[in-house]
Amino acid sequence: MRRGLISVAIFAAFVVIYTLSRHAIDTSTTTTTTSSTTTTTAAHATTTTTSTLASSTCSGSSFSGAYNEGQGAAGTIYASVTLTKTAPGSCTVDGWPLVTLQDKLGGLVTVTPIDVPSATNGFQFLPGTASDLTSAANRAPSSLSLTQNQSVTFALAYSDVAVGTKACGNGVSMSVQFATDGSTVSLTPSSPIQPCDNGQIWLSPFYAAS
């Protein structure tokens, strides 16, 4: 009888152990991976470019002109022309003037311009022989920027001594251009311009009026 009870107890213990082993809890580790997203914002640099427009070549229609009567020396007449900007805005003058002469009927008078200074001749304008004439008349041309009411000058000279039997010109009015095909500044000298030797006229570059 005692032995039977022991056998029953052993069997019951076995059942308990088996049952517990069947219901054992498995502990598992869950790893959560968080994905980190990096957003890169590209900054676009904005570049502002300021463009300065160069002044345009002056137009004769924006100017008034005055002929400054000169003096004579050894058969050569010296004079100058002052051109004043009457229109608003700015423009640039550079180089030598383009000069034409008209007779009393409006016809063109022959003009042979000679730019001074020049490597082909040694002509020099004489200081004091024309109104507003300075040593600047003998310098190489330079670019001049003009605004309203500013002026530029150029000097001129010509021989009034006839060569042989050929008559000298007789210009009663003058037209000046700053550039080929540009508009003109017209002016009237108090005395005719009478260049001899096929209308030869020495011209200085434009220079700043004093």
Q: What is the pLDDT of residue 46?
A: 45
- Written as six digits, the tokens of 153 are 């000058």
Going by C-alpha positions, the residue among 92, 108, 121, 91 that lies closest to residue 175 is 108
d(CA 187, CA 83): 10
Q: What one-letter code names the amino acid at 62?
A: S
pLDDT digits (tens, 9 = 90+) for 41-66: 444 444 444 434 456 999 999 999 99
d(CA 148, CA 210): 16
pLDDT digits (tens, 9 = 90+) for 76-118: 999 999 999 999 999 999 999 999 999 999 999 999 999 999 8
Q: pTM of the predicted model, to two decimals?
A: 0.71
